[in-house]
Amino acid sequence: MSDSIGHLRVDITKRYGGKTVLDQLRLEIRGGEFVTFLGPSGCGKSTALGVIAGLIPASAGEVWLDEQRLDRVPPEKRGFGMVFQNYALFPHLTVFDNVAFGLSLQSRPAAEIQERVQSMLGLVRLSGYESRYPGQLSGGQQQRVAIARALILHPRLMLFDEPLSNLDAKLRIEMRAEIKLLHSRLGLTSIYVTHDQAEALSLSDRIVLLRDGVLMQVGTPQEIHDRPRNLFVADFMGFRNFFDVRLGEPAGGFVEGMGRSLKLRARTAQDFSAGPDAIMAIRPDDIRIGKTSDGVNAVRGKVELVEYLGREQEAVIAIDTETRLWLRTAEKVTPGDEIALTLPADKLVLLPRE
Residues of the shown chain interacting with other proteins in the complex, contacts defined by CB under 8 A:
53-55, 74-77, 79-82, 84-86, 88-94, 101-102, 105-106, 133-136, 146, 149-150, 153, 159
Cβ atoms of 276 and 352 closer than 8 Å: no
In the complex, least distance from residue 173 CB atom to other proteins, rounded to whole angstroms: 22
- Min. distance of Cβ 26 from other proteins in angstroms? 24
Instruction: Show the 3-state SS of 7-72.
Output: CEEEEEEEEECCEEEEEEEEEEECCCCEEEEECCCCCCHHHHHHHHHCCCCCCEEEEEECCEECCC
Going by C-alpha positions, the residue among 247, 245, 273 that lies closest to residue 259 is 245
**From the CB of 138, what's the least distance to other proteins, in Å?**
11
- Return the number of the residue (91 or 310) whose C-beta is nearest other proteins: 91
| Alpha-carbon distances, residue 305 vs 128, 246, 313, 323, 325 (angstroms) | 53, 29, 10, 14, 11
Those residues with Cβ within 8 angstroms of residue 286's Cβ, 6 or more apart along the chain or in another chain = 343, 344, 347
CA angle, 295 as apex, 293 and 296 as ends, to 5°?
A: 120
| Least gap, CB of 90 to other proteins (angstroms) | 6
CA Rg value for the chain: 24
Q: How far is the CB of 102 from other proteins (least distance, A)?
A: 4
The least distance separating other proteins from the CB of residue 115, rounded to whole angstroms, comes to 19
CA-closest candidate to residue 161, choices 187, 184, 195: 195
> Which residue's CB is nearer to other proteins, number 63 or number 343?
63
Pick between residue 93 and residue 318 the one whose CB is nearest to other proteins.
93
Q: For strand 8-16 and strand 60-65, is the pairing parallel, antiparallel, or unpaired?
A: antiparallel
* Residue 56 vs 200, nearer CB to other proteins: 56
**Nearest approach, Cβ of residue 118 and other proteins (Å):** 18
Q: Which is nearer to other proteins, 106 or 273 (CB)?
A: 106
Task: Classify residue 76 by its DSSP letter.
Answer: G
CB closer to other proteins, 95 vs 281: 95
Nearer to other proteins, 86 or 220 (CB): 86
**C-alpha distance across the termini of the chain, in Å:** 47
62 C-beta neighbours (distance < 10 Å), count = 13
